[in-house]
Amino acid sequence: MKATQEKEADLGNSSIGKLLFKLALPAILAQIINVMYNMVDRMYIGHIADVGPSALTGVGVTMPLIMAISAFAALVSMGGAPRASIMMGKGDKETAEKILGNCTTMLVLMAAVLTAVILLFGKPILLMFGASDNTIGYAWDYMSIYAMGTIFVQISLGLNAFINAQGYARTGMLTVAIGAVCNIILDPILIFGFDMGVKGAALATILSQAVSFVWVLRFLTSGKSFLRIRKGYLKLSADIILPCIGLGVSPFIMQFTESIISVCFNTSLLKYGGDIAVGAMTIMTSVMQFSMLPLQGLTQGAQPIISFNYGAGNIERVKKAFRLLLASSLVYSTLLWAIAMFLPHVFIAIFTSSAELSAYVTWSIRIYMAASLLFGIQIACQQTFIALGNALTSVFLALLRKVILLIPLIFILPALLPDKVFGVFLAEPVADTIAVTVTGILFLREYKRLSHKKVGMD
């Protein structure tokens, strides 16, 4: 690789352990900081005098739409970034920059469409997603403002993947750190200082994301980046963009189905447990989202190493990187499970001071996260399939856990068990256990065949 990139990470020669640490640590911090946008909003909103629990539930109902926006960013970037890494491994910088340019254009187009859809149909969608008469006002107050910043979300999230894919992990971390710090500062000022409530939280979020948006574009158009956004490569080409979309389908499904699953959980829980059950789900979703960030950061740190060396034909480094990723992921997911089982109040107190809601979450989170110790296997194997450019298998695994297993179980188990709410929460660990078993078997076969695979992308 050229000297510009070697200052950040020598993906082809440096120690795998040092590389993973160097790339994963900033990626983990970036993931944690990124989710702080919505987490900080919920922390402040949940403590608004008199209306805190209802406002928190209302904002929780917006999460499916927010996750959908992020999913469309992943559809482009999480397919494009690994392909760019593989092309860099082959020494084909021109194609890598064409991928970056095409993905930039696609992200802008998607942002325009998503903004229009949400502004036109957002309110009925939120009602369909589990908002009640008590919470729809808060949900729409938040979402109507958040939608105006969709372009900032698409570009900052989508193009930051290309920064990380080049080995610029610290720069990628700063992308989200700058915006998150702005959000933390602006939230109390707008929510309480200007008495804007939920609207203030949404405005703080989109202003902060705008700062990250400017940062990303400035870096990727400067001489500091190995790959640059070039005007001549912005025109969409089917040969360039379609393989990126194809590889991005798996992470898209993983994130978009989170939106669908959130709707399924909210509607079922509203039916069987009322607003307090939906409020509990908002807290548990937040905990799960935050807790999974180190795992996502680990896989983001490993992806450039695996993809680059796969493109360069260095299979032994690919295998070594995966083994280290798997071990690290398992250690973390086991620790997470232990905290959820034995110290759930560590999580709960962050989001609510309501004794009733806290008691509800205390028992339900132990069911919901019962199989979380297995996540290390699931995410390490599934994301490695993506890093290797194996779109078909990664799509199947994404569909298996959420669409084939979890969504049906959310409705089947309550019908079979006397405690309906318990049945809804139990769907998560049952689906996770089956999915991890299948993923592990498929990846074991892939790992054994890896040495004999033809390196490169079709």
Q: Where are the domains of the chain?
A: 14-452
Q: At what angle do helices 63-89 and 52-61 cross, to 10 degrees?
A: 50
| CA dihedral sign, ordered 390, 393, 394, 395 | positive
* pLDDT attached to residue 3: 37
pLDDT value at residue 5: 40
pLDDT at residue 38 in the model:
60
What is residue 35's predicted lDDT score, i.e. its pLDDT? 63
Q: What residue has token string 């969608």?
A: 125
Quick check: 253 and 216 in contact, CB under 8 A? no
At which residue do the structure tokens 């806290």 appear? 358
Q: Nearest Cα to 449, choosing from 318, 342, 330?
A: 318
Task: Kindly tell me the burial class for residue 411, based on how many C-beta atoms sit within 10 Å of its own C-beta (0-12, 13-18, 19 or more).
Answer: middle
Residue 246's Cβ-count burial label (10 Å; 0-12, 13-18, 19+) is middle
- Which pLDDT score, from 0 to 100, does residue 412 have? 95
And the tokens for 210? Answer: 């705008």
- Which residue stretches of the chain have pLDDT < 70? 1-12, 26-27, 30-39, 41-42, 46-53, 353, 451-458
pLDDT of amino acid 250? 76
CB 298 within 8 A of CB 27: yes
Q: What is the pTM of this model?
A: 0.68
